[in-house]
């Protein structure tokens, strides 16, 4: 009898493990089946949904809690491999904070800002999820918005709070429901870090059911052998998968494929490294960056790639109208 009971427990445990493994292979956006796409060295594999074509890692997990991972990425004391540019970006903060066009590496930033200014009055509250060093918070403040942020890294939260911004430290599920009344929500380049990206979109829709949403995310033309690998990247997006995610979460999406400037190529990174020592002198760094901005677009145009960034505007389905 004891052996029979143990066998039943073992059988039940095996069924649970099999069910968990099966869920790992289901698309986290549409729930449909997936197929093996390619190996993910030192991690597992990339899988591709057969329906919405989202690519995701198996396993699809960060190496630690988000607060630990991204605090370590910005301070450089943990998870340096694959997150190396987080610390560099934070070191450039003071040099770039007063000159937004120097970090507008994609048209997504000015397009979102233009979208906000056309549809919202001055003084409206705009929440940026994953606000990082706070570049876009400052850009929104200049346009007269009440810019509010959320981030999981303590170091960036503290810097933005010192600049006078309201910033929630933690993930969205830890934010009290009445902490902020957002007239619009913006999200830049964090979807690939999330274990369950659809849950974020659904949570936004639940908390602010009548507020529009803008999400910019790396597209299929954005490829980097280090930055594009897990555990930094857990998902890879295209216009089909992003549109599916928005509709599933309750939005009517308008999806734009934005081309690159060619700046993702290694030659551009080399030029950036040459300019890096000037970061210690903000005015000199800004001067060099202005020259870079004038020359590099012409140099890099032949190297540009389509759909480096996917920009999606989502209107809550109840209101029905799409951004112009």
Give the CATH number, domain containing residue 87: 3.40.50.150
Q: Work out how many domains the chain is built from and give that number.
A: 1
End-to-end CA separation in angstroms for the chain: 70
**In the prediction, which pLDDT does 83 show?**
82
**In the prediction, which pLDDT does 307 show?**
72
Cβ-contact 135, 216 below 8 angstroms: no
Do the domain assignments include residue 260?
Answer: yes
* Cα(62)–Cα(83) distance, integer angstroms: 12
Give me the domain span that covers residue 194.
66-265+298-316
Do the domain assignments include residue 244?
Answer: yes
**In the prediction, which pLDDT does 312 show?**
98
Cβ-contact 117, 94 below 8 angstroms: no
* Cα(224)–Cα(171) distance, integer angstroms: 27
**In the prediction, which pLDDT does 299 show?**
56
**In the prediction, which pLDDT does 129 show?**
99
Helix ranges (DSSP H) in the chain: 2-25, 66-75, 84-91, 93-96, 108-119, 135-142, 154-162, 197-207, 239-249, 266-275, 282-300
Do the domain assignments include residue 198?
Answer: yes
Closest listed residue to residue 282, CA positions, set 97, 134, 148 = 97
Do the domain assignments include residue 29?
Answer: no
Tens of pLDDT, residue by residue, the chain (324 residues): 445 544 444 443 333 333 344 566 899 999 999 999 999 888 999 999 999 999 999 999 998 999 999 999 999 866 556 787 888 888 888 888 877 666 777 889 999 999 999 999 999 999 999 999 999 999 999 999 999 999 999 999 999 999 999 999 999 999 999 999 999 999 999 999 999 999 999 999 999 999 999 999 999 877 665 567 898 999 999 999 999 999 999 999 999 998 765 444 445 556 666 666 766 667 776 777 676 666 665 555 544 455 789 999 999 987 544 444
Give the residues across from 187 on adjacent strands. Answer: 129, 215
Tell me the pLDDT tens digit for each residue of 209-218. Answer: 999 999 999 9
Cβ-contact 264, 222 below 8 angstroms: yes
Do the domain assignments include residue 127?
Answer: yes
Q: How much is the pTM? A: 0.80
**In the prediction, which pLDDT does 265 show?**
47
The three-state secondary structure class of 89 is helix
Do the domain assignments include residue 290?
Answer: no
* Cα(199)–Cα(316) distance, integer angstroms: 16
**In the prediction, which pLDDT does 137 show?**
97
Tell me the pLDDT tens digit for each residue of 254-304. Answer: 999 987 654 444 455 566 666 667 666 677 767 776 766 666 655 555 444
Backbone angles phi, psi at 184, to 5 degrees: -160, 155
**In the prediction, which pLDDT does 271 show?**
62
To the nearest 10°, report the CA torsion of 285, 290, 292, 298: 170
Do the domain assignments include residue 188?
Answer: yes
Do the domain assignments include residue 236?
Answer: yes
């Amino acid at each position: 009898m004891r052996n029979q009971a143990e066998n039943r427990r073992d059988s039940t445990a095996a069924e649970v493990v099999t069910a968990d493994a099966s869920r790992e292979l289901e698309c986290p956006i549409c729930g449909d089946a997936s197929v093996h796409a390619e190996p993910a060295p030192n991690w597992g594999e990339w899988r591709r949904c057969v329906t919405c074509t989202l690519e995701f890692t198996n396993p699809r997990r960060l190496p630690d809690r988000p607060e630990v991972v991204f605090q370590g990425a910005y301070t450089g004391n943990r998870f340096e491999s694959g997150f190396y540019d987080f610390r560099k970006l934070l070191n450039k903060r003071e040099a770039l904070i007063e000159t937004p066009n120097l970090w507008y590496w994609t048209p997504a930033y000015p397009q979102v800002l233009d979208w906000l200014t056309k549809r919202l009055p001055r003084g409206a509250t705009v929440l940026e999820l994953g606000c990082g060093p706070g570049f876009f918070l400052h850009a929104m403040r200049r346009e007269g918005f009440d810019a509010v942020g959320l981030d999981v890294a303590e170091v960036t939260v503290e810097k933005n709070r010192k600049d006078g911004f309201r910033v929630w430290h933690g993930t969205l599920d830890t934010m009290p429901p009445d902490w902020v009344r957002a007239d619009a929500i913006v999200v830049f380049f964090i979807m690939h870090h999330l274990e369950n990206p659809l849950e974020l979109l659904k949570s936004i829709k639940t908390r602010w059911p009548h507020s529009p949403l803008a999400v910019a995310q790396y597209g299929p033309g954005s490829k980097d052998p280090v930055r594009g690998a897990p555990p930094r990247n857990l998902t890879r997006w295209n216009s089909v998968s992003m549109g599916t995610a928005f509709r599933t979460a309750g939005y009517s999406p308008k999806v734009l494929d934005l081309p690159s400037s060619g700046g993702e190529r290694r030659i551009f990174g080399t030029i950036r490294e040459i300019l890096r020592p000037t970061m210690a002198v903000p005015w000199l760094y800004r001067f060099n960056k202005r020259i870079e901005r004038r020359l590099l677009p012409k140099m890099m145009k032949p190297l540009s790639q389509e759909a480096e960034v996917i920009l999606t505007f989502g209107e809550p389905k109840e209101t029905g109208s799409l951004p112009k």
